[in-house]
Amino acid sequence: MVKIFLHGCCGRMGKAIAALCENNPDYKIVAGGDIIENNNYSFPVYTSLNECTEDFDVIIDFSNATAVPTVLEFAKSRKKPFICCTTALSDQTVADILNASEEIAIFKSANMSVGINLMIELAKQATKILYPDFDIEIVEAHHNRKLDAPSGTAMMIANAIDQEIPDQTEFVYDRHSVNKARSKQEIGISSIRGGNIVGDHDVMFISDEEIVTISHRAQTRDVFAKGALRAASFMCGKERGYFTMSDIIAEYTGE
């Protein structure tokens, strides 16, 4: 059984993870952290992480970008693996997380869905085959409450594709301020916000003769919660190093 400290336990994703763990013998949330006090859980919820006295195997964080540095320090002080699921991190926080991986085990992904990470691997393979004969466009759609745009997942897709292109590329966000023809070096990224869309992502490879589209649709938030729990199992017992969902996918592909 993996014992979990769940930070951000009172948010939507925190509640989804807690619900999945309720009757699952493989996982147990022993404590949580949040700025909101909550007495409805069977485990204690701390507004100050240093008050936690429970022992645990891993930390899962689904909170907000401003809280991540505090959670990172907490993970370092307890010498426990840290699974960072929070997006829109500052460059400094990303650098601090990378540096911390020399002391503790870090798992970071802008999207915890195994399916979306498989999509990224497929997009990388498609880029190798289709670029530069095909233009590349990324379209993402989320609910109307999402604050950041483009999504962290869209940027994760764009950066993965960019790594497969030997030329210097340019990310172009929407096109309202661009008054010129599209260049081959562009990777277009467009955002849609509306309703209760959990998370849709499309990568379009477009030529004059054909269009190849790789798509992913998240139907419920449980897909991200399940991915976080899978990461918890993967990280349990690891002492240091930097890991991503690609490492989990590699277990299946044998790479």
Separation between Cα atoms, residue 229 and residue 235, nearest integer Å: 10
Q: In this predicted model, what pLDDT tens digit does every residue of 177-223 receive, in sequence order? A: 778 899 999 999 999 999 999 999 999 999 999 999 999 999 998 99
C-alpha distances in angstroms, 65 versus 29, 32, 91, 156? 22, 17, 11, 16
Active site residue 142: yes
Beta bridge partners of 45: 32
Residue 236 pLDDT level (bands cut at 50, 70, 90): very high
DSSP 101: T
Share of residues in the chain with pLDDT > 90 (%):
88
Q: Pinpoint the residues of the chain covered by CATH 3.40.50.720.
A: 2-108+221-253
| Catalytic one of 15, 108, 142, 216 | 142
Number of residues that make up the chain: 255
State pTM to two decimals: 0.84
The arrangement of secondary structure in 114-218, i.e. its CATH architecture, is 2-Layer Sandwich (3.30)
**Three-state DSSP class for 110?**
coil
68 token code pair: 């991540």
Active site residue 146: yes
Q: Pinpoint the residues of the chain covered by CATH 3.30.360.10.
A: 114-218
| Catalytic one of 28, 76, 124, 146 | 146
Alpha helices by DSSP H, 43-187: 68-78, 91-100, 114-130, 152-163
Q: In this predicted model, what pLDDT tens digit does every residue of 72-124 receive, in sequence order? A: 999 999 999 999 999 889 999 999 999 999 999 999 998 999 999 999 999 99
Q: In this predicted model, what pLDDT tens digit does every residue of 116-158 receive, in sequence order? A: 999 999 999 999 999 999 999 999 999 999 988 999 899 999 9
Please tell me the class of the 2-108+221-253 domain.
alpha beta
